[in-house]
Amino acid sequence: MPFPFISKDKRRISTAMKELLNIDEIFMLEALREARRSWDLGEVPVGAVVVKDGMIVARGCNLMITSHDPSAHAEMVVIREAARLTGNYRVYGATLYVTLEPCVMCTGAIILSRVDRVVYGAQDLKTGAHESAFHLLAEPLHNHVPEVTGGVLRKECGDILTNFFKMRRMEKKARKMRERAERESALAAAPEAGGVSEEC
Ligand SMILES: [Zn+2]
């Protein structure tokens, strides 16, 4: 189903909706849509969009497993796509919306691509490179320092990850229980261990 706040060209946000809703939240909802796409692919659900002049110019989600590429984080995917579609390795004047705080690798891509602004949702306490594990994204020593806004739809962006990992744990537990039941069933059907039937 198409996102209800997107007009017929599927990219431009209507002026009326800009006035009614927080524009960052609107685009973060689009990044969340991408996160759900990565969930469907069996990936950790992180999504991103790149916005320029009020329009989404590229979309992306985690694709590490799908593409056999450890660098295919949602930010890397969407920045590559934005650069390809705009025909420029610099994506000047763009805002990157991503559901999870960028890591160190993605921080490098953000700086190299000259993204103007980064908006993210949930904190990544283990590898986040803005306010969590590291403080690199807005480090003034870089030759480009993007404006950063964190915590937009933080709960929604965090919940999708929490639910995903909860589902993974439940699936793992169910698999172990099934394997155990299969082992016990096989043992019950087998001859007694060590037993040798002697025929005289
Ligand atoms: Zn990353």
From 66-70, 72-76, 139-143, the region with the lowest mean pLDDT: 139-143
Q: Which of 9, 2, 8 is nearest to 29 (CA)?
A: 2
What distance in angstroms lies between residue 37's CA and the mean position of ligand 1's atoms? 17
What does each C-alpha distance from 92 to 26, 49, 131 come to in angstroms? Answer: 21, 15, 24
Write down the catalytic residue from 30, 34, 43, 75. 75
For the segment 122-136, what is each residue's pLDDT rounded down to a tens digit?
999 999 999 999 999
Residue 20: what pLDDT?
54
3-state SS, 67-112, equals CCCCCCCHHHHHHHHHHHHHCCCCCCCEEEEEEECCCHHHHHHHHH
Query: Any catalytic annotation for residue 75?
Result: yes
195 class by beta-carbon count within 10 Å (0-12 exposed, 13-18 middle, 19+ buried): exposed
Cα of 31 to ligand 1 centre, how many Å?
15
> How far is 161 from 141, CA to CA, in rounded Å?
32
Order of strands across the sheet with 94-100?
55-61, 47-52, 94-100, 117-122, 147-149
Rounded distance between C-alpha atoms, residue 150 and residue 125, angstroms: 13
Q: Report whether pLDDT(164) > 60.
A: yes
Q: Residue 199 C-alpha to ligand 1 middle, in angstroms?
A: 68
More confident residue, 18 or 114: 114
From ligand 1's centre to the CA of 108, what distance in Å? 9
Band of pLDDT at residue 192, cut at 50, 70 and 90: low
pLDDT at 181 over 70: yes
Yes or no: say if 102 and 128 are a contact pair by the CB < 8 Å rule: yes
0.75 surpassed by pTM: yes
Instruction: State in Å: Cα 5 to ligand 1 middle.
Output: 28
For residue 77, the CA-to-ligand 1 centroid distance in Å is 10
Region 3-19 average pLDDT: 48
Strands 94-100 and 55-61: unpaired
**Residue found under tokens 């990219």:** 11
pLDDT at 13: 53
Residues with Cβ–ion distance below 5 A, ligand 1: 73, 103, 105-106
Residue 9 — very low, low, confident or very high, per pLDDT cuts 50/70/90?
very low
Q: How far apart are the first and last CA of the chain?
A: 75
**Residue holding tokens 């759900």?**
36
